Amino acid sequence: MSDQPRHPSEHAHPGTGTYVAIGIILTIITLVEVGVFYVPAFQPVLVPVLLALSAIKFALVVMFYMHLKSDHKLFTLVLSVPLLLALGVALALMFLLGAVALE
């Protein structure tokens, strides 16, 4: 199968090399996450670091493996708006229930 679009409005999807590179990057990020968990010096910033690394992994998977990078921007909006709303609700509940301290 060719990477060339069949229709003028279609976009070419990334090739196999791109998917392999993204897979390697995701593996490296996962190894860093595991390493960060076991290094005692990272304990004070463990949660923010793991959340940031997970967000990067999420973005890579969504952009490349779910093809949002090459699809119509409406699909990105349909995914992003509910995700941001859910994140806002989760953070609000964490503050309300005392899971996050405002020190």
Note if the pTM is more than 0.85. no
* Contact (CB, 8 A) for 25 and 60: yes
18-48 tens-digit pLDDT:
889 999 999 999 999 999 999 999 888 888 8
58-82 tens-digit pLDDT:
888 888 877 777 777 787 788 888 8
Query: pLDDT confidence of 11, banded at 50, 70, 90?
Result: low
- C-alpha span between 100 and 58 (Å, rounded): 23
